[in-house]
Chains A and B, each alone.
Chain A
Amino acid sequence: MRATASIFLLLTLLLTAAPAAASAPQTTPPPPPELPAASDFKAVDRPGDSGKAILLTWKDPATLPEGAMIEVRRAEPPADEFMTLKMVKPGTERFIDSKAEDGKTYRYELRVRGMETPDSLGIAGAVGPALVSDPVSSHDNWFRPERTNSLIANLIFITLILSSIAAARSGKPIFIRRIAGLNAVDEAIGRATELGKKVLYVPGIQSMDDIQTIASVAILGHVARATARYGTDLDVPNKDPLTFVSAREAVKAAYLAEGRPDLYREDMVNYVTYDQFAFTATVSARMIREKPAAIFLVGYFFAESLILAETGQSTGAIQIAGQADPTQLPFFVATCDYTLIGEELYAAGAYLSREPVLLGSMRGQDFAKALLMVVGITGIVAVSLGATWFLKIVQTQ
């Protein structure tokens, strides 16, 4: 009987304790939900760069909970412990570690991590499985692959120019259309000679690193030869010191080549000032006081173009202007007698000298332009028909 009572008591205790245990508050938190892992994780040296960068790419998990971020970690020798580099937003699927040192071997780890945000739905602190990359080191590369299309285009352009030059050397006659502004150069210098007044030549306000200035100094050489031949005075004020030095050499060489070194004076080519408007004020004053008969405004000008051209126009001089950049062209067209527009400036050297080699290069340039027009029209048609891949071919970086 006593045993029965004990068993009954034990059973009673067991039966009352189980529900109590079941309803007692839990002291350990439930495990966080499992976060998915990214896939296709690759770490490679960033292609086409000067080094010090590693490119990481991956695919985000298909189902990523709200509030999750992608944690990028890196381990470097000697400690080889993974340290967090960056928390990347989902959707990016790409990260560039630009703090890498060339030659050092790194390993990268990628994992999904729950952040503590209002929307994180209890995943705060949760961490998904880690993906670890193969060891990788950065180094500089020999080629930028994203510029392949630009390289091909340049090679085609250079080939066209060189083959046209080669054809021109063979003696084949090359036609170049009439450019009124260049035909008027001799007329302008002749007018200055008749009136006994000088020729004023302004080679723009940019330095010799600008191709328009180089073209202008080349034209100055032709003008200087003509003034040397006719015995006309020449005045070349300069805003840039490098241009001043080049212009001086070009004019000196021109006078020597014409056999008139006696006519050359050191102050023919002079430096004025580096400030744009101080230069403009000086040259304008020179135009009004000295009244040159012919004014050349050839090169790269900015806001001072109209001040110079209008002042020159008021003195009654014949004016020939030229600029490749279209910004100031309307002012030159409105105030000057002749204007070289755009690439006519670059054609001047070939036009004035009639050297076959230079004319040949103009021909090559025209072929390149024709090719560009064909590509452009093809692109318009292709993209209009929905072939947007065409844009990717011609896009440059």
Chain B
Amino acid sequence: MPGLLHRFLALDRRWIFLLVLLSVAGPIIFPVGLPVTVTESTQKSFDYIEALKPGDIVWLSFDYGPSSAPENDPMAEAFLRQCLLKKVRVVVTALYPLGGLGLANQCLARITAEYPDAKYGVDYINLGYKDGATAVMRRLGDDISAAFPTDVSGRPLSEFPIMRGLKSIRDVKLVFTAATGLIGEYWITQVHSQIGTPVIIGPTAVSAPKYYAFINSGQLVGMLGGMKGAAEYELLLSRGHPELASLYRSTKGFTATKGMDGQTVLHGFILLFIVLGNIAFFQERAKKARA
């Protein structure tokens, strides 16, 4: 046993890589269906959106690329579903340069297909991608059409009923940014701090710890931290809207809830290896002290 434990001290990382592969792939092939518990930051986000009224306008920004799509896509999809279900109108943009627009187009196409009553230009609109995130946000504070003169297909904004009465970002009730990198933070410092529009952020799990400081200071309404946050949000949606519960149960597509199974198994194995590695480390240290 001591010999086996000591192997952990010098374990070849490729064994760990193999274990990671099996931990993540296994639950995808053989779903476990583990429960998800809801955290305060996700609950606050959900409650805020749930309190919006039909006809209110929100802003959904796709500020991530394909690399973090497994974390951010479920958040954006769930938010879009909740808004379209509640007849809250959605303005969609993409500020992430590489792939943000493609993901926005794909997500909109997927989700609006579930709501055939939702009309483009009336219930939702896609303004497309614009470069220079902070400069765009500053212009949105004065005049949306200065930053986005047309929608994604090149039609003037004045043609769309959803844009009537919507002059600047001050007129929207909420900005939801599914973000990786800095762009999410810019929405807080440029839009919320300077204009006052409430912001909910859906960052990747790696960036999430930073945003607790913003939540505590009241600069964020709430946060969906990584895939766990997205899974919590899906759970809250299912509880609040039974029609979505059956959708999430039966869909063959990827959901954050499904992804949490793999993450749980992986965390378990990593913790086991950490414990075994530390036991071996202490035994080695005791042996050296005795010698």
Task: Please list the residues of chain A having a beta carbon within 8 angstroms of any beta carbon in chain B.
Answer: 50, 98, 274-277, 302-303, 314, 325-328, 396-397
Contact = CB atoms under 8 A, between A and B. Distances in A.
A302 B180 contact: yes
Contact of A303 (B98, B180, B194, B210): B180
A48 to B, nearest CB: 12
A327 B167 contact: no
A303 B67 contact: yes
B98 A275 contact: yes
Interface string B56-86: 0000000001011000000000000000000
Contact of B193 (A314, A325, A327, A396): A396
Interface in B188-208: 193-194, 204, 206-207
A327 B98 contact: no
Given A302-B181, A303-B180, A327 B206 contact: yes
A274 B131 CA distance: 14
A302 B98 CA distance: 15
Contact of B210 (A327, A396, A397): A327
A276 B180 CA distance: 12
Contact of A397 (B65, B181, B194, B209): B194
B193 A303 contact: no
B13 interface: yes
Given A98-B168, A303-B204, A314-B13, 18 more contacts: A50-B142, A98-B167, A274-B98, A276-B65, A276-B98, A302-B180, A302-B181, A303-B180, A303-B206, A325-B210, A326-B210, A327-B206, A327-B207, A327-B209, A328-B206, A396-B193, A397-B193, A397-B194
Contacts of B168: 98
A276 B67 CA distance: 10
Classify the interface of chain A: helix, strand, loop or mixed: loop
Nearest to B134: A209
Contacts of B65: 276
Contact of A277 (B13, B67, B142, B167): B67
12 contacts: A274-B98, A275-B98, A276-B65, A276-B98, A277-B67, A302-B181, A303-B68, A303-B180, A303-B204, A326-B210, A327-B209, A397-B193
Contacts of A274: 98
Contacts of B98: 274-276
Nearest to B194: A397
A325 B207 CA distance: 10
Which 5 residue pairs across A and B have the least CB separation, nearest first? Answer: A327-B210, A302-B181, A327-B207, A277-B67, A275-B98
A334 to B, nearest CB: 12
Contacts of A50: 142
Nearest to B99: A275
Contacts of B204: 303
B256 to A, nearest CB: 18
Contacts of B68: 303
A326 B213 CA distance: 12
Nearest to A314: B13
Interface string B164-182: 0001100000000000110
B134 to A, nearest CB: 9
A314 B17 CA distance: 14
A63 B193 CA distance: 36
Nearest to B98: A275
Nearest to B66: A277
Contacts of A327: 206-207, 209-210
Nearest to A313: B13
Nearest to A325: B210
A310 to B, nearest CB: 8
Contacts of B167: 98
A105 to B, nearest CB: 23
A94 to B, nearest CB: 13
A348 B3 CA distance: 45
A328 B13 CA distance: 21
Interface in B148-169: 167-168
Contacts of A277: 67
A274 B142 CA distance: 31
The listed residue with most B CB atoms (<10 A of its CB), out of A303, A328, A396, A397, is: A303
Contacts of A302: 180-181
B59 to A, nearest CB: 19
Contacts of B206: 303, 327-328
Contacts of B193: 396-397
Nearest to A395: B193
A9 B105 CA distance: 91
A276 B13 CA distance: 25
Which one of A302, A325, A397 has the greatest number of beta carbons of chain B within 10 Å?
A: A302
Contacts of B181: 302
Interface in B212-254: none
Nearest to A300: B182
A60 B210 CA distance: 44
A276 B99 CA distance: 12
B170 to A, nearest CB: 9
Contacts of B67: 276-277, 303
A159 to B, nearest CB: 25
A77 B158 CA distance: 26
A393 to B, nearest CB: 16
Contacts of A326: 209-210
A274 B99 CA distance: 13
Nearest to B143: A98
